[in-house]
Amino acid sequence: MSSAPLLEVRDVAKHYGRGKKRHEVLTDLNISLNEGEVLGIIGESGCGKSVLLNLISCLEPVSAGQLFFKGEEYTGKKPKDVCRWFQVIFQDSEAAFDPKMTIRQSMHENLRLLSGDSKDADAKIEAMIEIMGLNPALADRYPRQLSGGQVQRMSIARSLVTEPNLILCDEMTSALDVSAQAMILQYLYKLRQKRGLTMIFVSHDMALCSTFCDRMAIMKDGKIVEIGTPEQIMDHPQHEYTKLLLDAVLYVK
């Protein structure tokens, strides 16, 4: 049995443009994620958090560095080659659905593309919707007919029904009110306990990550400046930027 991490990001860099117009987004970035672990990535807008998720899921190519899944390099693969491993939950959940499809039709398509047609597809879909605390009858509605919190929970259900190895969450709760955020995190926590989910959880919210994640990585200007357990980050921050973020959290409180 391999002891390799589920995911490794080694010396990854990303830039756009050339010459004087070249813009460095990520520089010499390294991450190691074990199966069943939840890693929170915290940083200001524009620091490269979403770009990192795009690189991991091969939605964009890396400019330098290597990507490994279960010890095997997958740098340069196409999204269709890795979508069975990784599923992304976006901030704008409604935009992630085809508005011309019902929720059920969208989930069927996801299952068909990633795992082939299945005679028990409806049972899988309805069971996952129930796990997310929703009535399976809502699956026959269109995304626009549901509330923001309901659509986001449907988005999570659609991602999980294909049983991916890693869930990439890109600011998935930031557009929701506090009660909807709490409800979604509660269901995700239960799923973690039941299924041992592995997740990368991108957020601006340091306090939220400290309660939900096993480790926290602080990003600034395309680099991870500090990484550690929530206790290490919140109680004994080492980098000045981490201290600045923590001061902001304490000030808001």
Q: DSSP state, 59? A: S
Residues 198 and 215 in one domain: yes
Q: Which pLDDT belongs to residue 120?
A: 85
Q: Check residue 119 and give its pLDDT.
A: 67
Q: Tell me, yes or no, whether 177 and 239 share the same domain.
A: yes
The closest of 63, 77, 74, 68 to 26, measured between CA atoms, is 63
- Listed residues 133, 164, 195: the one ending a domain: 164
What integer pLDDT is reported at residue 177 of this predicted model? 75
The pLDDT, as a whole number, for residue 250 is: 59
Domain end among 120, 139, 164: 164
For residue 181, what pLDDT is reported? 79
Question: What's the whole-model pTM score?
Answer: 0.89
Based on the fold, state whether residues 81 and 179 are members of the same structural domain: yes
Q: What is the pLDDT of residue 116?
A: 67
Last residue of a domain, one of 138, 164, 190: 164
Q: Residues 112, 237: one domain?
A: no
| Residue 104 structure tokens | 């059920």
Instruction: Based on the fold, state whether residues 205 and 248 are members of the same structural domain.
Output: yes
For residue 183, what pLDDT is reported?
A: 81
138 and 185 co-located in one domain: no
Residues 206 and 129 in one domain: no
Question: Domain range spanning residue 235?
Answer: 1-85+173-253
CATH code for position 242: 3.40.50.300
Q: What is the pLDDT of residue 253?
A: 47
pLDDT in tens, the chain (253 residues): 457 899 999 999 999 998 888 999 999 999 999 999 999 999 988 899 999 999 999 999 999 999 999 999 999 999 989 988 999 988 788 878 999 999 999 999 988 888 766 668 999 999 999 988 899 999 999 999 998 889 988 998 998 888 899 999 998 877 677 777 788 888 888 888 888 889 999 988 888 899 889 999 999 999 999 999 999 999 999 999 999 999 877 544 4
Q: How far apart are CA 235 and CA 34, in angstroms?
A: 24
In this structure, the answer to whether residues 246 and 133 fall within a common structural domain is no
Residue 139 has a pLDDT of 96
C-alpha 243/C-alpha 210 separation (Å) is 14
Burial 54-74 (b: 16+ CB within 10 A, else e): bbbbbbbebbebebbbeeeeb
pLDDT at 62: 97
Same structural domain, 99 and 157: yes
Separation between Cα atoms, residue 229 and residue 142, nearest integer Å: 40
Q: Are 143 and 175 in contact (CB under 8 A)?
A: no
